[in-house]
């Protein structure tokens, strides 16, 4: 027997923090519009205009940044949502009054889906993870002066959590803990693509993960938020919020075509080379029909010039994929509503899935290995690693010495460099660190655990600062400190 799909229990007018500014805004539609306003006006979203989509440090404004990519994802998700709502039985699913809310939440989730991405994109993620794994152990022991034995909380939760930086989990931390946008719980839930905490992922990474646990979804620092979301929205452990599936599908559609379009704009591939690559890779797929070849032929016939081919390809594919995504949502509505579908909308043996796979493989083989992408990444690696090396001196301070810095009580024993570096940290992030550490209760934690938690949030402070930088700012800061 199918469980009831009642969207009234998923699209709720509740936030994590009580907000006295909202006393006159009672309707959930108005609250979603307020969330949109907060997101669009946030520094986290603005920074995406100078963060890598594929090509780091790109001067050509027509080539996509994370911001322009997010805008495209937003528009595709809006189209998917509208199609779903045109097909679904709104009365049976308590959606009559929530169609606008449904669309608003999906759109805002798409605007936010990349806010946690570090400088230099996924390459930056890998670089940050490598530094953390190579250096945190040494920094911890210097900070503790070998006087304190790590607590079980540290070894079982905090350290594994710190060793894995991920843009999805960082995005959640940015909107909730750092920028405190205090969005509707339904809005925040629509961003949580993966259901496993970072510390569990790190400890269990030798086992084959399910789809929703193939990446960390949140850090230890945001665990209380996840627990509140699951409680209020009636989401079972390990399950997802239904609108996540739409955001994820829109992202898949957007980046697969756009990465190839940017490659043509940068003359990495010609149109004829792209067609040949697409057809060759399509033939490698275990698909029995000529779906993508037919799309390529149709895009070619309707293109008056070569430069129109990719626009036609994008239009034809996007229309088909939007239709597929909406139909899939309806077909598996019960599993998607309850978050038990352990897969993405584009998967399995459908021609649409293999078309997206073909586009991804072409990008991986012929675009992501280009000098235009890899050369700036080498500069990014040196700058990111160098900045973490520089700021590591703050991680090596004892708890007492670092707290003196936060209270402006440091003396010459802390060092001139430590004082200077601390002043570079954003005041907003420092305040989050201070509030969190000051609220650690001795009734709940032992002395050893409080020491470890302080250091955990100190590391988070440094990660928050550096991972939040734009590509160009990373380079300029590294050059300022290193003289390179």
Q: Supply the pLDDT for residue 1.
A: 46
User: For 242-367, which CATH class?
Assistant: mainly alpha
Domain ranges of the chain: 242-367, 371-482
Higher pLDDT: 411 or 153? It is 153
Lowest mean pLDDT among 42-46, 57-61, 329-333, 379-383: 57-61
Q: How far apart are CA 209 and CA 222, in angstroms?
A: 22
Q: How far apart are CA 405 and CA 418, in angstroms?
A: 8
pTM over 0.85? The answer is yes
Residue 304 in this model has a pLDDT that exceeds 90: no
The DSSP result for 296-353, as a single string, is HHHHHHT-SSGGGHHHHHHHHHHHHHHHHHHHHHHHTHHHHHTT---S-SS-TT-HHH
Confidence of residue 52 (pLDDT cuts 50, 70, 90): low
pLDDT tens, 227-272? 999 999 999 999 999 999 999 999 999 887 887 887 887 788 888 9
pLDDT tens, 67-76? 988 999 999 9
Q: How far apart are CA 85 and CA 19, in angstroms?
A: 31
pLDDT tens, 437-470? 999 977 789 989 999 999 999 999 999 999 999 9
Q: How far apart are CA 462 and CA 395, in angstroms?
A: 8
pLDDT tens, 333-363? 999 999 999 988 887 778 999 999 999 898 8
Residues 56-73: b if buried by 16+ CB within 10 A, e if exposed: bbbeeeebbbbbbbbebb
Radius of gyration over every alpha carbon of the chain, rounded to an integer in angstroms: 24
Q: Supply the pLDDT for residue 25.
A: 54
CB atoms closer than 10 angstroms to residue 197 = 23
């Amino acid at each position: 027997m199918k469980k009831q799909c009642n969207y009234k229990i998923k699209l709720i007018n509740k936030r994590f923090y009580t907000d006295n500014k909202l006393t006159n805004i009672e309707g959930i539609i108005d609250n979603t519009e307020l969330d949109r306003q907060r997101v669009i006006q946030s520094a986290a979203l603005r920074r995406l205009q100078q963060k890598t989509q594929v090509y780091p440090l790109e001067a050509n404004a027509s080539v996509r940044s994370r911001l322009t990519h997010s805008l495209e994802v937003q528009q595709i998700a809006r189209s998917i949502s509208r199609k779903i709502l045109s097909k679904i039985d709104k009365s049976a699913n308590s959606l009559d009054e929530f169609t606008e809310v449904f669309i608003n939440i999906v759109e805002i989730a798409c605007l936010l889906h990349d806010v946690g991405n570090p400088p230099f994109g996924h390459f930056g993620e890998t670089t940050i993870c490598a530094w953390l794994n190579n250096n945190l152990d040494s920094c911890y022991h210097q900070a503790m002066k070998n006087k304190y034995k790590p607590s079980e909380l540290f070894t079982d939760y905090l350290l594994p959590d710190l060793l894995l930086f991920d843009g999805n989990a960082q995005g959640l931390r940015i909107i909730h803990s750092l920028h405190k946008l205090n969005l509707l719980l339904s809005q925040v839930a629509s961003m949580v693509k993966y259901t496993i905490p970072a510390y569990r992922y790190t400890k269990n990474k030798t086992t084959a993960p399910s789809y929703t646990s193939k990446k960390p979804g949140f850090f230890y620092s945001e665990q209380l938020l996840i627990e509140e979301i699951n409680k209020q929205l009636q989401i079972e452990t390990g399950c997802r919020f239904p609108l996540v599936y739409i955001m994820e599908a829109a992202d898949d559609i957007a980046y697969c075509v756009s990465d190839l379009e940017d490659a043509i704009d940068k003359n990495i591939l010609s149109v004829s080379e792209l067609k040949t690559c697409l057809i060759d890779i399509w033939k490698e797929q275990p698909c029995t029909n000529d779906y993508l070849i037919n799309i390529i032929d149709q895009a070619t016939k309707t293109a008056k010039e070569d430069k129109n081919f990719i626009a036609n390809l994008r239009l034809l594919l996007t229309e088909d994929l939007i239709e597929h995504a909406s139909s899939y949502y309806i077909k598996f509505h019960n599993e998607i509503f309850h978050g038990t579908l352990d897969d993405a909308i584009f998967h399995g043996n459908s021609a649409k899935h293999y078309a997206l796979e073909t586009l991804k493989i072409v990008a991986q083989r012929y675009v992501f290995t280009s000098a235009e992408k890899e050369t700036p990444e080498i500069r990014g690696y040196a700058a990111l690693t160098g900045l973490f090396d520089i700021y590591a001196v703050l991680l090596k301070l004892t708890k007492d010495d670092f707290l003196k810095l936060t209270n402006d009580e440091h003396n010459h024993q802390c060092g001139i460099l430590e004082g200077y570096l601390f002043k570079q940290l954003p005041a907003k992030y420092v305040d989050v660190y201070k509030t969190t550490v000051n609220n650690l209760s001795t009734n709940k934690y032992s002395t050893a655990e409080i020491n470890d938690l302080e250091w955990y949030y100190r590391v988070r402070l440094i990660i928050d600062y550096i991972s939040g930088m734009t590509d160009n700012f990373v380079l300029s800061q590294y050059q300022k400190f290193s003289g390179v």
